[in-house]
């Protein structure tokens, strides 16, 4: 990865930690009498710190780093929170909504991407066109191809996952030449995709087999190229030498 992109990623990691420190010391402490009675001050402080950091890291920072690595991997352009307007036949729109509702009601038997897409494409179009506005967490163009990804926390709820699948289906039906993805920045259950086991969203996608579902290394390498995931961890560890020292000094 080019040095300029590494520097930008280092900055994002560093700012995330520094921002957490500023918020922790800048906000009024919540009065929690039972916590105070039962737990040590250190436990209360560090649990609050971790929650604050995870909230920041799970949203803007992941999107921005994903944008940077896309550009580092030859994307001609990339944009967070990309707004895309599409036109889609009402028959396809109805089929997509019916599929999602069926998954939520447990009446739809197939949730995997290939059979879902095939089923929706088999619907007879009506000729009535509906315009939709879709917001993607990240869009990038590479080799003339539009790529869209919904970036979620590692344990997304079923509502977030359902909306993401709807968006992926809408974009793919409207533009068969684009690529759409549902991505989690890491797997809390281990490195292997097959080990993912957070149940709520798994009724919407086939998490273990769908090619559009990207988790951890597969997500980062898809956006940033081979070994992007390992390079990101290397950058984080390098920045961590500095940030860990800052954090250790907080309670001295």
Rg for the chain, CA atoms, rounded: 21
Q: Are residues 36 and 155 in the same domain?
A: no
Write down the pLDDT at residue 21: 85
Q: From the centroid of its chain, how far is CA 117?
A: 22
Can you give the pLDDT at residue 8? 97
Encode pLDDT of 121-144 as tens digits: 999 999 999 999 999 999 999 999
What pLDDT does 235 receive? 97
Domain that holds residue 62: 1-73+228-252
Whose CA is closest to 76, among 134, 144, 136? 144
Same domain, 102 and 62: no
Q: How much is the pTM? A: 0.92
What's the number of domains the chain is made of? 2
Helices (H), the chain: 3-26, 33-38, 41-56, 62-72, 90-105, 113-121, 158-174, 217-224, 228-248
Same domain, 79 and 196: yes
Question: Cα dist. 210→64, 85, 223, 247 in Å?
Answer: 25, 25, 17, 39
41, 129: one domain: no
Residues 86 and 192 in one domain: yes
Residues 139 and 159 in one domain: yes
Same domain, 181 and 147: yes
| Same-domain pairing of 49 and 146 | no
113 and 53 share a domain? no
**Rounded to whole angstroms, what are the CA distances from 177 to 141, 145, 172?**
12, 7, 7
pLDDT of residue 84: 98
Same domain, yes or no: 116 and 182: yes
Residues of the chain with pLDDT under 50: none
If asked whether residues 82 and 186 sit together in one domain, one would say yes
């Amino acid at each position: 990865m080019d040095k300029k992109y590494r520097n930008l990623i280092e900055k994002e990691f560093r700012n995330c930690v520094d921002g957490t420190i500023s918020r922790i010391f800048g906000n009024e402490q919540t009065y929690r009498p039972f916590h105070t009675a039962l737990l040590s001050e250190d436990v209360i402080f560090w649990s609050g710190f971790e929650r604050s950091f995870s909230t920041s890291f799970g949203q803007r920072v992941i999107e921005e780093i994903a944008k940077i690595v896309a550009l580092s991997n030859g994307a001609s352009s990339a944009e967070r929170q990309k707004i895309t307007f599409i036109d889609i036949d009402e028959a396809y729109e109805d089929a997509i909504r019916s599929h999602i509702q069926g998954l939520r009601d447990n009446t739809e038997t197939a949730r995997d991407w290939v059979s879902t897409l095939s089923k929706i494409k088999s619907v007879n179009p009506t000729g009535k066109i509906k315009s939709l506005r879709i917001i993607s967490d990240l869009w990038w163009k590479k080799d003339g191809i539009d790529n869209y990804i919904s970036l979620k926390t590692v344990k997304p709820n079923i509502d977030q996952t359902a909306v993401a699948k709807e968006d992926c289906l809408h974009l793919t039906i409207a533009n068969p030449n684009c690529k759409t993805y549902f991505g989690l920045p890491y797997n809390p259950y281990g490195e292997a995709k097959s080990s993912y086991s957070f149940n709520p969203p798994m009724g919407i996608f086939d998490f273990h087999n769908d090619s559009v579902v990207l988790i951890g290394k597969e997500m980062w390498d898809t956006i940033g190229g081979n070994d992007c995931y390992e390079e990101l961890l290397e950058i984080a560890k390098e920045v961590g030498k500095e940030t860990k020292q800052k954090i250790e000094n907080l309670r001295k």
